[in-house]
Amino acid sequence: MLEEKNDNLSLHENQTDGRTVNELQETIQSETTIVAETEISDAAAEENTVNPVSEPVLSNEVEANENQNVIDAIADSNAEESEDETLKERHDIPMLDYEALPMDTLVEELKNLATNEKVMSVKEHVEEIKKAFLAKYNHLIEEKKEEFNQENQDPNEEFQYHSPLKTKFDQYYTLYRDNKNTHFKSLQTNLKSNLEVRLAIVEELKELINPQANIKDTLKHFNELRERWKNAGSIPKDKYNHVWNNFHFHVENFYDYLHLDREARDIDFKHNLEQKQKIIARVQELVNEVDINKAFRELQDLHRIWKEEIGPVSREHRDAIWNQFSELTKKMHDKREVLFENQRGTELENLNKKKEIIAAIEVLATEKVNSHSQWLAQIEKVEALRTAFFSAGKVPSDVNEDTWLAFKTAVRNFNTFKNSFYKDIKKDQNENLNKKIALVNKAKELQESVDFSATTPIMKQIQEEWKQIGHVPRKYSDKIWNEFREACNHYFDKLKEQKNEENVEEVEAFDKKKAYLETLREFQLTGDHKTDLDAIKLHIETWKSFGKVPFPRRHIEGKFNKILDALFEKLSLSKKDTEMMRFANRMDHLSESNDTRKLDNEKIFLMRKIEEVQNEIFQLENNIQFFTNTKNAKKENSIVLEVRKNIAIHKESLDVWKEKLKQLRNMNQG
């Protein structure tokens, strides 16, 4: 009997320079007949009573066992295909090195297989794609989660990551799984009924052995049973060999027990022998086929044809032709084993490559660098090594999990080492975040202020401080910047609106002052000191009441001051009074313009002048003491008199400076 074992073969369409399986099948179907018209002679009937025939036993015990193991493997594979005929088509689709493909390509491959191919033809392909995709995806999730844990400061916030590729993968895998379930549901419905049909055919075949029946009708019935058997459909694989053995046994019984005409039987035996010789010739060609997997797949089909579609041969040829077929099968199997050994060698080479890659990542996980740019270079190296790892190809299955675990551990250690560097940066960024939050709050508090003279410098200072603060965590960067910018823009937009309103008033003030200058130029003093002084003061108050003028037109203030200076000179005022009135007018102008910087500078200037004059007076007084302590102290000379005169001038000047400072301080307090 031909029994087989499922070796998970990679199966391909069977086509070589010789005759293919399909061609042999067509020949067998067209030529296989049993000559039913031949009459049976009694003598022939007596001669053709023989014992049931089973498969020959090989003389060499060891060789027989080896050959039988190979035959068993093929028998099991064909049994599986008998249950689901779509398995015969799996060799149409090449098995790619899915582990080396990127995630997006894996999704496209899955989409193509799930939508365009028969579900059982791609079973192994889909499972390999699933394993490769999930390995890469889970590795990606681990890295994203680690990044999240490093950046996230809120312990209550849960990690979430959405991958469009994973969504597509799940969509196509669900489609494949639904198709598979539908396929199996339909398959299970048919398997049981097909099994019952085949068992019924075997029972009918038993009943054919009836010496009293008409041979012509019996042969016709026999051919009908063989045709029904061929079209009976798939049955469960665990029943396949048993049911086929029963059928084959009773077919041989039909040949051996039924009293056939010797000539008709010999013709049929000869025809079957020719068909099996054609199969052997084809296997001899397959032994030299370059594509070993393809050749072995065709060999499986030839075994199925040998068993299911070709009848027995005469006893004298049975052992020889079977032994020839099984020995050629063993040769094919041995070539296939050599191929597997070569593949295992390639997998060991891939394993060494991956070990080298893992070792390189482990080294990078110990190289200490101290700048962000250097870490970017290290990260780029690891990414290149990751790509090389996934492109290195398959490794032996018994070390695949350990290799993958070592790779993940090396990458994780590198990320931990990298993150230790960024922890300090994260700490600084969080401190920067707190500083910027404080500035945002301050800006929001001031954004509605209408005290523009006091608030504007503060807002500008806030903006300068913001520029000096470093980076904040990327998660908060855009949000906090938008809040700060909105608060600042809100305030300065209000300031701009206020200035636009003031500009209108300033232009009006300029026009009024320009017209008033003409009136002032025509003003004439009366000669009465008090009357003239009151009139000048009134002009000053009137001028002030007009308000500020646009900055580019402030030259008009100078013109007004020149007219005032001319009027003061005509008055019989003391120098101090004149100086103080001019000073008061100038300070009022600065106060109206809200130029606090110039007012502060004026205050500093006055304090310095007071200190300088006091030092001068102190020095002059020291000099007077030097001269008054001499023998001629009673009679002061011209030098002493000059010094005393200078002291008096400085004291008068000191009084003016002090008065100015007092007036300025009173102005600030007001």
pLDDT (tens digit, 9 = 90+) per residue, 106-140? 888 888 888 888 877 788 888 888 888 888 888 78
Work out the angle at residue 392's Cα, subtended by the Cα atoms of residues 386 and 393, and round it to the nearest 5 degrees: 130
pLDDT higher than threshold 80 for residue 338: yes
pLDDT greater than 50 at residue 611: yes
Helix (H, G, I), strand (E, B) or coil at 374: helix
* pLDDT at residue 336 is higher than 50: yes
SS (H, E, C) 290-337: CCHHHHHHHHHHHHHHHHHCCCCCCHHHHHHHHHHHHHHHHHHHHHHH
**31 pLDDT tier (thresholds 50, 70, 90):** very low
pLDDT digits 0-9 by tens, 1-11: 333 333 332 32
Residues 601-621: b if buried by 16+ CB within 10 A, e if exposed:
ebbeebeebbeebeebbeebe
CB-based contact 107:123 (threshold 8 Å): no
Burial class (CB in 10 A: 0-12, 13-18, 19+), 193: exposed
Question: Which amino acid does the sequence have at 662?
Answer: K
How far is residue 470's CA from residue 436's CA, in Å, rounded to a whole number?
9
What's the pLDDT tens digit per position in 532-587?
778 888 888 888 788 877 767 778 888 888 887 777 777 765 566 666 776 776 77
For residue 59, the number of C-alpha atoms closer than 13 Å in the C-beta half-sphere is: 2
Contact 543, 560 (CB under 8 A): yes
DSSP string, 376-441: HHHHHHHHHHHHHHHHS----HHHHHHHHHHHHHHHHHHHHHHHHHHHHHHHHHHHHHHHHHHHHH
CB 307 within 8 A of CB 2: yes
CA distances from 585 to 469, 523, 660, 668 (A): 44, 19, 12, 15
Q: For residues 222 and 260, what is the distance between their CA atoms, to the nearest angstrom? A: 13
pTM of the model: 0.40
- In this predicted structure, what is the pLDDT of residue 50? 33
Residue 155: band (very low, low, confident or very high) from pLDDT cuts 50, 70, 90: low
